[in-house]
């Protein structure tokens, strides 16, 4: 009888721990199984030495001009944490401004999600299906490629954004910084990706009335549109591969890196508008007729020239974006007679109508 009680106790006590553990291991094993042929045995190594091996692997491939889509790297297994299937509020990140239907600040995250953490990045998935496990793996890969191949971009949009640029804003009475980054796979975006900043007041600077905000910069990636099924939207028009799964994979290996950079530039406008004059003007004009088209081409025409200069991004994708978004939006703005007035928000004085030098932000140089 006693033995039976013990077994019962064991059954009651162990499962909650074991199931979480098993789920974690299962996800990690799935991730490892799709990890690159350059993966190495990480178990006995320190996290720092794993990172430096990843650094060397990327640098060696970049040095011979390898395109991003061909780069083979693993992620640092020790840095990946599975937080569980939970509502984002349970991470305690959003305490100052919890996500809720009433609040309506972040409807796309207002549900239970599979949440992972890697350095200062949170990644969320709506399901654990195979496509999403691939999405997670390639997000970790994208983070490492951005960090090592595109250090100026990483420094300006990620590292520097975590600090307060000033304690004395020129506009308003508050200053923003990011406390973390969140990459979410969901169906929020219209096309491939969208951005959102969750503003989280964190009190005041000492001896001042200026408010500090420690925000979450969110990048949404459309988990449906990137699957390569649609002829007109998502990854298929970008890569034109026969098989859906090949379009998905090409996007994850290449386009995802650009999407994260692009959306982080939109988020930069939410970050810097209280101290930077031209960014403030952009923020103030949001909502005006077709201004969204002007911001879009300026953001696109900021990230793409940087990628062209540094190399690595698929050229077909670059020309697709210029033709289908830049030129297209210019056409609409031209018809609406808005090119000159909106152009002046991005470049104060211009003599010619070279829109590629006018609609641009100088934040990655």
The answer to whether 277 and 325 have CB atoms below 8 angstroms apart is no
Q: Are 255 and 222 in contact (CB under 8 A)?
A: no
Nearer Cβ to Zn ion, position 119 or 281? 281
Nearer to Zn ion among residue 269 and residue 358 (C-beta)? 269
Between 42 and 259, whose beta carbon lies closer to Zn ion?
Answer: 259
- For the CB of residue 296, give the shortest distance to Zn ion in the complex, in Å: 5
Closest approach, Cβ 281 to Zn ion, in A, equals 18
Distance CA 40, CA 56 (A): 13
Shortest gap between Cβ of 299 and Zn ion (angstroms)? 5
Residue 82 host element (H or E): strand 80-86
Nearer to Zn ion, 114 or 306 (CB): 306
Shortest distance, position 193 Cβ to Zn ion, whole Å: 7
Site string for Zn ion, 279-318 (x = CB under 5 A): -----------------x--x-------------------
Nearer to Zn ion, 249 or 299 (CB): 299
Site track for Zn ion across 194-213, x = CB under 5 A: --------------------
- Among positions 326-345, residues that touch Zn ion (CB under 5 A) are none
75: phi > 0 → left, psi -120 to 50 → alpha, else beta; which?
Answer: beta
Three-class DSSP category at 98: coil
Considering only residues 258 to 277 of the shown chain, the ones binding Zn ion according to CB under 5 A are none
CB of 86 closer than 8 Å to CB of 124: no
* Smallest separation, CB 139 to Zn ion (Å): 18
Structural contact between residues 245 and 197, judged by C-beta atoms closer than 8 angstroms = no
Could you tell me what percentage of the chain is helix, strand and coil, using 3-state DSSP and rounding each to the nearest 5? Answer: 55, 15, 30
Q: In Å, how far are 127, 147, 226, 251, 333 from 255, measured between CA atoms?
A: 22, 16, 10, 5, 26
- Measured in degrees and rounded to the nearest 5, phi and psi for residue 290 equal 60, 10
CB of 316 to Zn ion, least distance (A): 19
**Least Å distance between CB 272 and Zn ion?**
16
Nearest residue to Zn ion, using CB?
296
State the burial class of residue 204 (Cβ atoms within 10 Å of its Cβ: 0-12, 13-18, 19+).
middle
- State how far the Cα of 227 lies from the Cα of 208, in Å rounded to an integer: 50
In the complex with Zn ion, the residue whose CB is nearer, 178 or 301, is 301
Site residue total, Zn ion (CB under 5 A): 2
Nearer to Zn ion, 82 or 359 (CB): 359
Query: What is the binding site for Zn ion (CB under 5 A)?
Result: 296, 299
């Amino acid at each position: 009888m006693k033995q039976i009680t013990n077994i019962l106790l064991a059954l009651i006590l162990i499962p909650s721990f074991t199931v979480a553990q098993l789920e974690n291991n299962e996800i990690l094993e799935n991730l490892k199984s799709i990890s690159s042929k350059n993966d190495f045995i990480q178990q006995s190594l320190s996290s720092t030495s794993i990172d430096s091996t990843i650094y060397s692997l990327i640098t060696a491939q970049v040095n011979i001009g390898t395109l991003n889509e061909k780069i083979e790297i693993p992620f640092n297994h020790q840095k990946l944490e599975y937080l569980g299937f939970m509502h984002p509020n349970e991470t305690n990140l959003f305490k100052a401004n919890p996500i809720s239907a009433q609040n309506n600040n972040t409807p796309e995250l207002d549900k239970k999600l599979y949440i992972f953490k890697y350095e200062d990045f949170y990644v969320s998935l709506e399901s654990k299906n195979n496509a999403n496990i691939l999405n997670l793996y390639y997000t970790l890969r994208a983070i490492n490629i951005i960090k090592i191949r595109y250090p100026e971009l990483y420094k300006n949009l990620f590292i520097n954004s975590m600090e307060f640029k000033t304690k004395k804003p020129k506009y308003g009475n508050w200053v923003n910084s990011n406390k973390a980054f969140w990459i979410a796979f969901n169906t929020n975006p219209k096309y491939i990706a969208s951005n959102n900043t969750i503003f989280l007041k964190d009190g005041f600077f000492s001896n001042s009335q200026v408010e500090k905000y420690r925000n979450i910069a969110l990048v949404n990636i459309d988990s449906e549109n990137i699957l390569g099924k649609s002829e007109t939207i998502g990854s298929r028009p970008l890569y034109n591969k026969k098989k859906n799964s090949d379009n998905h994979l090409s996007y994850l290996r290449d386009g995802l890196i650009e999407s994260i950079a692009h959306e982080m530039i939109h988020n930069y406008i939410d970050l810097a508008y209280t101290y930077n004059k031209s960014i403030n003007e952009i923020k103030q004009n949001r909502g005006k007729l077709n201004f969204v088209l002007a911001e879009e081409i300026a953001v696109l025409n900021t990230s793409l020239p940087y990628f062209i200069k540094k190399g690595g991004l698929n050229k077909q994708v670059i020309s697709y974006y210029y033709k289908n978004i830049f030129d297209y939006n210019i056409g609409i703005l031209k018809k609406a007679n808005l090119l000159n007035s909106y152009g002046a928000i991005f470049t104060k004085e211009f003599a010619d109508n070279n829109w590629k030098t006018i609609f641009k932000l100088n934040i990655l140089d």
